A and B are shown apart, each in its own frame.
Chain A
Amino acid sequence: MTETDKKIEIMGNEKPRIGIYVCHCGVNIGGVVSVPDLVEYAKTLPDVTVGREYKFFCSDVGQKMIKEDIEAGLINRVVVAACSPRMHEPTFRIACKEAGLNQFLFEMANIREHSTWVHMKDTEGAYEVAKDHIRLAIAKARELAPLAVQKVKVEPTTLIIGAGITGMNSALNLSAAGYKVYLVERSATIGGHMAQLDKTFPTMDCSSCILTPKMSEISRDKNIELLTYSEVEEVTGYVGNFEVTIKKKPHYVDQEKCNGCGICVDSCPISVGNEFELGLATRKAIYVPFPQAVPSEYTIDMDSCVVCGICARESVCEPLAINYDDKPEYITVDIGTIIVATGYDEYDPSGLKQYGYGKYDNVITGLQMERLLSSFGPVIGKPVKPSDLKDPHSIAFLQCVGSRNFREGGNKYCSRVCCMYATKQARQYKEKHPEADIYIFYMDIRAFGKGYEEFYESAARDYGINYVRGRIAEVRENPLNHNIIIRSEDTLLQQPIEVEVELFVLSAAIEPRADSDSITTLLRIQKSADGFFLEAHPKLRPVDTLTEGIFIAGVSQGPKDIPDSVAQAKAAAASAIALMAKGEVEIEPFFAVIHADRCSGCGMCIENCAYGAIEYVDDRRFGTIASVNVALCKGCGACSGNCRSSAIDIIGFSSEQLHSMITKRQ
């Protein structure tokens, strides 16, 4: 028996002496219910030997009060009635541990989130709830048992899903710290949306100039295993020890043989809409997404390919690299940490029929405008009206299309980048066409970033861009010239106005990926109400998820601009490194245990276990019974819930503990 085990055994046999600490949490709790009364009440409960109140128990001083009681031998169980355990359980566990008490002899009563905050106007009700939550926590505390922490190794390898500017930055940081990275990207190139942008606000540096060097850096990096045209198929395991299966989709082109001559593209008879150009140009069924793509690999899009066989001819493909029978390939890798950086989709404004997108030629989205402005875009950086391919003499931008819209089909949130990108696009066009009339219809201009307000001010002052405060009501097309006639209110004039422009740009919202559910299901992470991935804490754990070892970064967590995305990318990399640098991580020893004497060997638990953690063993005394493989068990309790003979228990949420909470009521 080790020293720790001995200690644990002693602690477990002691009669409970419970200390109850009721936190005021400033006025969050104390302002709604009487904390002294709660303490007095708690002290009447059996085995409670100490009861105290304090403004903030999470503070150093507060923790010290608890530690002193432990060290003085007054208590051997700690119950803190305060906020959610999801907030401060780790804090107090560490405090217990530092004072020499087993950290699992601690319990929390959530009287803030679950009482004073949700019953603010019903102080009596809040008090009753708080009382009961304290009583329940004390009941559970009485049944707590000391446990030995489990330590597991952490594989020094990170999986990054998505290779846009966020995923790329995380990858480079991790690699620089010496960790192996699997960078998985589902499209045929890395770079993400940033590769589609022309210039970036507010510095006006060319997007490609700052992005493409990073892209080639990624492709050269020995620590980064770049898997483009690949998707994560399956993730099992837990923090430090994930097992990840990645599907490499077939290119139908043997990359080993291909010499990148491009003759196949010229010879391909099939033209389809080019996704990278957002339908403003076409591509062939065999293609490279765009000239600077990394890796520069040819791919056949089998949804459009008619397998005519032309590209496979030796006269076209001299090295005979075309392989129509190419099959997907699956690889399985051991992963310690995961970073999700899957980015966003642009909102499709065709549902807002009053704006004519999809109906009138000269109505486009912000991202399409970006391609028109791009020097390597379909019109080489000289935006034209789609109706006649001539320079527009007037352009109107409409902000908040699909953002700040509380109607069905709209997004309630602000997309955070549109004010600036519209201003940027307007300035770019004005630079080339100083005579053009540019209008930006807005509700509020949100120029919150570094240098943004200055950028906006200059757009109005130096460039003469007309900012009109009003949300456009409707537009119609002038049938003679395909101009767009806009109806709006100038809310500052309090007048309805009509403006005719030649090009109408909808600053479309940023939306969660349409298929982001596949990620939440794959990784068991959550989404917030806006559909973006949910962070563990909005302020203090912005890149963590509720699942340990999995981090989120960039726009997949919520709309943000490039600087913020990169900041999160680096934060997520740092968080992953923090886990991996230690080489091991402590996990809660909350597993299923089987009481061999009660097990009837029915096998129900084996069927219910999603992890295959239970198997039959032959017991010398009890015959064929179930047995738990602790390495695989996650402690969910699905087995225990179905056990007819109550032979399975879950450490940490034991039947005794739950039972004590239920029955302490008359």
Chain B
Amino acid sequence: MSEENKWKYGFFLGCVAPNRYPMIESSIRAVFDHLGAEILELEGASCCPAPGVFRAFHIPTWLVIAARNITIAEELGVDIITGCNGCYGTLRDAWIELEHEPELKKMVNEHLAKIGRQFKGSIEPKHIVQALYQDMGLDYLRGFVKHKFKDLKVAVHYGCHIIKPSDKRPWGGECEDPTFLDEIVEITGAKSIDYVDKLMCCGAGGAVRTAVKEVSADFSREKLKNMRDAGADIIVDCCPFCHLQLDLGQMEANSIYKDMIGEPYKIPVVYLTQLLGLSFGIDPNLLGLIKNHDLKGVTPFIPIESFLEKVKSQLT
């Protein structure tokens, strides 16, 4: 491919994508490969560690482990991409804090020295959306669109940590009305619909899901209501943890808040690269869209067949 080696990234997997939603991992790999980006493995990477959980327990631990993960990419000399808002939050915040506070950097490197590592700050942690939107650009992506979806109404869910804290994110301080994700979604012909409290949190983060599942489910219930009221066919997100909360959380909300909900929610939840991949003409198998029904109790919990059915005719 002529574009080969134009972009080279270290792929930071995190936890939820590889270990619970592998379809997200495989679709990112498939799409980035299709776009001519080379993906290197960050061998031996750990949990980022999760910003709302481990950072909330012990900030130094969070910082040191995050720095270790970054050093793996530094050894390869490539920028990191991650498909997870949480991992992005951790890696980027840690990276910026270490860059701006020499004392912290010194502390972290004292610990890292014990395992023969050193944080330099030589590479940038990026979100896959950042790589798609800023490194490659919409025009480049448009060139790969093979199938355009018609009448597909998408409720785009940004999640929080991809845009906030805005002073540590690459979107020019914009966090009240971002459009980058909608713009990417809309190159596929799908319509990104406006819905109430679009930027609201899914409810999973900040250790809330682990603490009180019912609270997270109530966040999701509210979001799902607003999405359904606006007539969404599918949800498109860019974070495996939001994905989990909107998928599994949809089931949970349906049961916990049965009385409030009425007709149970069953809005398919599609990861950004799954939607893009389909539009690019990539094999749905590679995008993790075809479920092996022999496997029981696995993701996705909300069937996505209605979505595939809807777009099937447009994929030829």
B177 touching A476 by the CB < 8 A rule? Answer: no
A408 touching B176 by the CB < 8 A rule? Answer: no
A contact residues around B176 at 8 Å (CB) = 353-354
Residue of A nearest to B198 (CB): A476
B173 close to chain A: CB less than 8 A: yes
Interface of B is mostly: loop
A contact residues around B196 at 8 Å (CB) = 476
Residue of A nearest to B194 (CB): A479
A408 touching B173 by the CB < 8 A rule? Answer: yes
Residues of chain A in range 351-382 having any CB-CB distance to chain B below 8 Å? 353-354
Q: Indicate which residue in A353, A408, A476 contacts B197 across the interface (CB closer than 8 Å).
A: A476
How many Å lie between the Cα of A408 and that of B174 in the bound state?
Answer: 12
Residues of chain A in range 324-359 having any CB-CB distance to chain B below 8 Å? 353-354
Residue of A nearest to B229 (CB): A479
Residue of A nearest to B177 (CB): A353
Residues of chain A in range 391-440 having any CB-CB distance to chain B below 8 Å? 408
Residues of chain A in range 520-535 having any CB-CB distance to chain B below 8 Å? none
Number of interface residues, chain A, beta carbon within 8 A: 4
Residue of B nearest to A354 (CB): B176
A contact residues around B173 at 8 Å (CB) = 408
Residues of chain B in range 111-131 having any CB-CB distance to chain A below 8 Å? none
Residues of chain B in range 159-200 having any CB-CB distance to chain A below 8 Å? 173, 176-177, 196-197
Interface string of B44-64 (1 = CB under 8 A from A): 000000000000000000000
How many Å lie between the Cα of A476 and that of B198 in the bound state?
Answer: 11
Interface string of A453-477 (1 = CB under 8 A from B): 0000000000000000000000010
Residue of A nearest to B173 (CB): A408
**How distant is B252 from chain A, measured CB to nearest CB, in Å?**
24
Residues of chain A in range 8-56 having any CB-CB distance to chain B below 8 Å? none
How many Å lie between the Cα of A353 and that of B198 in the bound state?
Answer: 14
Residue of B nearest to A474 (CB): B176
Residue of A nearest to B176 (CB): A353
Residue of A nearest to B230 (CB): A479
B contact residues around A353 at 8 Å (CB) = 176-177
Residue of B nearest to A359 (CB): B177
Residues of chain A in range 608-650 having any CB-CB distance to chain B below 8 Å? none
How many Å lie between the Cα of A353 and that of B176 in the bound state?
Answer: 6
Interface string of B192-225 (1 = CB under 8 A from A): 0000110000000000000000000000000000
**How distant is A488 from chain B, measured CB to nearest CB, in Å?**
15
**How distant is B162 from chain A, measured CB to nearest CB, in Å?**
17
B contact residues around A476 at 8 Å (CB) = 196-197
Interface string of B126-139 (1 = CB under 8 A from A): 00000000000000
Residue of B nearest to A353 (CB): B176
How many Å lie between the Cα of A354 and that of B166 in the bound state?
Answer: 14
Residue of B nearest to A478 (CB): B196
**How distant is B144 from chain A, measured CB to nearest CB, in Å?**
32
How many Å lie between the Cα of A476 and that of B176 in the bound state?
Answer: 12
How many Å lie between the Cα of A353 and that of B171 in the bound state?
Answer: 15
How many Å lie between the Cα of A408 and that of B196 in the bound state?
Answer: 27
**How distant is B2 from chain A, measured CB to nearest CB, in Å?**
41
B contact residues around A408 at 8 Å (CB) = 173
Residue of B nearest to A487 (CB): B197
**How distant is A480 from chain B, measured CB to nearest CB, in Å?**
11
How many Å lie between the Cα of A476 and that of B194 in the bound state?
Answer: 12
Residue of A nearest to B174 (CB): A353
**How distant is B118 from chain A, measured CB to nearest CB, in Å?**
34
**How distant is B122 from chain A, measured CB to nearest CB, in Å?**
29
How many Å lie between the Cα of A192 and that of B177 in the bound state?
Answer: 35
**How distant is A77 from chain B, measured CB to nearest CB, in Å?**
51
Residue of B nearest to A477 (CB): B196
How many Å lie between the Cα of A158 and that of B197 in the bound state?
Answer: 57
How many Å lie between the Cα of A120 and that of B201 in the bound state?
Answer: 48
How many Å lie between the Cα of A59 and that of B176 in the bound state?
Answer: 58
B contact residues around A354 at 8 Å (CB) = 176
How many Å lie between the Cα of A559 and that of B196 in the bound state?
Answer: 38
How many Å lie between the Cα of A476 and that of B177 in the bound state?
Answer: 12
How many Å lie between the Cα of A95 and that of B177 in the bound state?
Answer: 64
Interface string of B3-43 (1 = CB under 8 A from A): 00000000000000000000000000000000000000000
A contact residues around B177 at 8 Å (CB) = 353
How many Å lie between the Cα of A476 and that of B196 in the bound state?
Answer: 8
**How distant is A474 from chain B, measured CB to nearest CB, in Å?**
8
**How distant is B56 from chain A, measured CB to nearest CB, in Å?**
23
How many Å lie between the Cα of A354 and that of B176 in the bound state?
Answer: 6
**How distant is A351 from chain B, measured CB to nearest CB, in Å?**
9
Residues of chain B in range 79-134 having any CB-CB distance to chain A below 8 Å? none
**How distant is A71 from chain B, measured CB to nearest CB, in Å?**
62
How many Å lie between the Cα of A353 and that of B197 in the bound state?
Answer: 13
Complex A-B: 6 CB contacts under 8 Å: A353-B176, A353-B177, A354-B176, A408-B173, A476-B196, A476-B197
Q: Give chain A's interface residues, CB within 8 Å of chain B.
A: 353-354, 408, 476
- Closest CB pairs A-B (n = 3): A353-B176, A353-B177, A354-B176
